[in-house]
Chain A
Amino acid sequence: MMNMLRLAKLQLKVGFGLSALKWYFRNSPLKFWGGVGIVLVVILAIMPIFILYLRLVQGVFDTALMLGQPQVVLTMAMVLSAFLVFIFGIAYVMSAFYFARDLPVLVPLPLLPRDILGAKFAQVLVSDYLTIIPFFLPALIVYGLRSGEGLLYWLVGVLIFFLLPLIPLTLATVLILPLMRLTNISRRKDTVRMVGLVGMLALVVGLNSFLSQVPPGEEAEFVQRLLADEGLVYYMARAFPPAAWATVALTAGGFKAVLNGAGLLALSGAGLLAMFYLGDRLFYHGLIGSEETHSRKKLSGDVLEKRISKTSSPIMAIASREIKTLIRTPIYLFNSVGIFVLLPVIMLIPAASGGGLAPLIDMVRSQEARVMVNLGGAAFMGVMALFAPAASSSFSREGRTFWISKVIPVPPGQQIRGKMAYSFLLTFLALPLLLIFSFLTVRWSLGELLLVFLLGTALAFPAISLSLLVDMMRPFLDWDNPQRAIKQNANVLIAMVAGGAQFYLIYLLVNRVLAAAGDLWVYAGVFLGAVALGLISYLAMMRLADARYRDIQV
């Protein structure tokens, strides 16, 4: 146990750069306060989104209050937090447990598997606390203040905050441990793991949506149940039942609260026990040999000569390098591609299972909504370019290999064009999704599809160039596990927020200025607005590239 605690302390120091921060504070205050400034800028940048969420929380509280169940606001926030912890936790746990670079140092030490597992788990858990703060605390505060709760509420609230991510995170760990053990025997580990990961998530989401279905013919009883005492809470908590227990523990008072609180505590404890039990049996089996890769077939002289003779331009060589690295690194692939295959599924399954899609399909097929639907399709491509961290972590992902980019005789501008080419190619992965969407719902004509593609590509331009610009200005190269290049990289968040602001500007231009002028003006406005914004970031990047490539130290 002591070893686990010591190791956890070390992991937190390394993982959150605490030792480095202390060093910078003493020896390079400018860098330290610069870092603090960036954190403040990020907080300020996400403030508008946070305020929107706060209003939503207050709105939910008001509506739920009218139904006599204001506590549903807590359940909602807890379900949302737990969902985020679980979905992202799967990738984070896999990365921290199996792909961290310090594992070859830790495994030969006289430590139990549970010591390493526990320490790594602590690291992921602390970052999850930071993740759920903006989602859970507003609900806790809004409910507490508006309902005039006493000291006990706040104390239990703090306890529940600390318990909240435990269950989804131990669940993610308990799913990952056997997955990695089973897939470690495969020759193509990375591929099998990626398929296993996506399959597992799809299964969990599908099962959840199946369980959430309202039984046909029982709609009236269903609504009645919802309006009954705590009905909304239990409906909301079907995705994550412990949220209902936590809500009752916080709000009911008396024996009921103690019972539910004890249930939550017991389940969290059981989750940890299950994790350590499986960890002792499966962790090393999944880990040991995870760095082994099977030896591929030896190339014959002819094939080797053929491969060597294939030449391409430096731009395409860089784009190809980026694509190969992304495809072959499960964590990058999951973050940049996998999540965007899953997101539409997550969004569509509940709507489809509740029969909610039919009126939506009727609406989007009507001619009046056509402009909106076409712009929606284009916006999907733009948002995919913005949300996939492919561009906003492009420099950071090079990590310690960035020395190669610095010494090769390829002008930085050309290297950046290679990164842009790769980011656009990735964005085009939205096309199959759009085609499926078109076939199932909107039935775009070929002309409309081309229009959507053209506008989508234009919208991807400012998203990609701004994301690359942000990452070029402050790349995070000193990481020890590939997940950190994305997860602990503030650039991903900064680029999303700044890119979102760009899209908002285009929306304002179209909605306030061009909407009345007709469809053609709207399309032209979106296209030209996006290209103009994209060019600003692109030209700024080209202007700064030489100096940045010279100054970035590896």
Chain B
Amino acid sequence: MIEIQGLSKSYNKGAVKAVDDLDLHVKGGEIFGFLGPNGAGKTTTIKMMVGLLKPDGGTVRINGFDIGKEPLRVKESISFVPDNPEVYEKLTGIEYLNFLGDVYGVPGPLRREKISYFLNLFELTGAVNDLVQSYSHGMKQKLVLIGALLHEPQVFILDEPMVGLDPKSSNNLKKYMREHCDSGKTVFFSTHVLEVAERLCDRIGIINQGRLIACGTMEELKTQSRSKESLENIFLELTE
């Protein structure tokens, strides 16, 4: 589903290597957690995966398509939720969702079903006729999530999706991510909440200073480190 090879990105004319020769493979039906300290290169990697940033080198292939060569084929099959939900403030929630339905070509009946379902799931039905500018951070996050799920993406990519969500919505999102992967699709998300990663992810990758320093299932990570206990201890040991 996701194949990343030799991905690199630097800033300040190469002075700061944000992502350094990254190789990563994520299979279909897998929830992959992407961890790392602040400034490790998580968001830069994700932005290159979805076409928001141009890599200096390397390739990203999603569903067999190269984001650099066939960006539209990749974008049709993925969805992206950024860490900061900047959305059109002067549209109402329903107008934003309809806009995404139109640009992803979601037919009317399916759109009706999906929007109603997700609005109920994330308890946003009452606010959907209000302008986005009146939404709280969490409400905007929910709106972006719903918009991202309308077209049933094959690969769901999220950057810090739990930030700002209330516990119930966060729990609903985790359940949905599991269901999504159980049907053979893929979820790739970054997070700082290690407990969530430990409990939810099939595999975990840890990035530090732009390089992937560990990758595997929880069991595999435990074998790679001296501390065999929690993900937190493993993370602290590896990123020190």
Contact A407 B51 (CB under 8 A): yes
Instruction: Say if the beta carbon of B167 comes within 8 Å of chain A.
Output: no
Give the distance in Å from the alpha carbon of A320 to the alpha carbon of B13 in the complex. Answer: 40
- Tell me the bound Cα distance from A411 to B76 in angstroms: 11
Q: Is B223 part of the binding interface, using a Cβ–Cβ cutoff of 8 Å?
A: no
**Nearest B residue to A553, CB-CB:** B53
Closest to B50 in A: A407
Residue of B nearest to A291 (CB): B133
A410 touches B103 (CB 8 A): yes
Question: What mask results when residues 239 to 268 of chain A are scored 1 for a CB within 8 Å of chain B, else 0?
Answer: 000000000000000000000000000000
Bound together, the chains give a CA A321 to CA B103 distance in angstroms of 11
Q: Does A296 lie at the interface of the complex (its beta carbon under 8 Å from any beta carbon of B)?
A: yes
Distance in angstroms from A233 CB to nearest chain B CB is: 47
**How many residues of B sit at the interface, in one of the four size bands?**
35 or more
Residue among A297, A316, A320, A403 with max Cβ neighbours from chain B (10 Å):
A403
B100: CB under 8 A from chain A? Answer: yes
Does A343 have its Cβ within 8 Å of any Cβ on chain B?
no
Indicate if the CB atoms of A309 and B109 lie closer than 8 Å: yes
**Contact: B92 with A296, CB < 8 Å?**
yes
Whether B97 contacts A308 by the Cβ 8 Å rule is yes
Q: Is B112 a contact of A309 with CB atoms below 8 Å?
A: yes
B100:A408 contact, CB within 8 angstroms: yes
Of the candidates A297, A399, A407, A554, the one whose C-beta lies within 8 Å of that of B80 is A407
* B63-80 Cβ-contact flags toward A at 8 Å (1 or 0): 000000001100110001
Q: Are B102 and A409 in contact (CB under 8 A)?
A: no
Select which of A311, A407, A409 is within 8 A of B52 by beta carbon: A407
The reply to whether A293 and B133 contact each other, CB–CB distance below 8 Å, is yes
CA distance A28 to B12 in the complex (A): 7
Residue of A nearest to B76 (CB): A409
Mark interface residues in B129-145 (1 if CB within 8 Å of A CB, else 0).
11101100000000000
- State A554–B84 Cα separation when bound (angstroms): 12
Chain B 25-84 interface residues, beta-carbon cutoff 8 Å to A: 50-54, 71-72, 75-76, 80, 82, 84
Q: List 23 A-B contacts (CB under 8 A).
A: A28-B12, A291-B134, A293-B131, A293-B133, A293-B134, A295-B130, A298-B126, A304-B116, A308-B111, A309-B112, A311-B106, A313-B102, A316-B102, A317-B98, A317-B102, A317-B103, A401-B87, A403-B82, A407-B80, A408-B75, A550-B51, A551-B54, A553-B52
The 10 closest A-B pairs by CB, nearest first: A317-B102, A409-B75, A328-B90, A409-B76, A293-B134, A309-B108, A400-B86, A408-B103, A325-B90, A296-B129
Binding site for A on B (CB under 8 A): 12-13, 50-54, 71-72, 75-76, 80, 82, 84, 86-88, 90-92, 94-95, 97-109, 111-112, 115-116, 125-131, 133-134
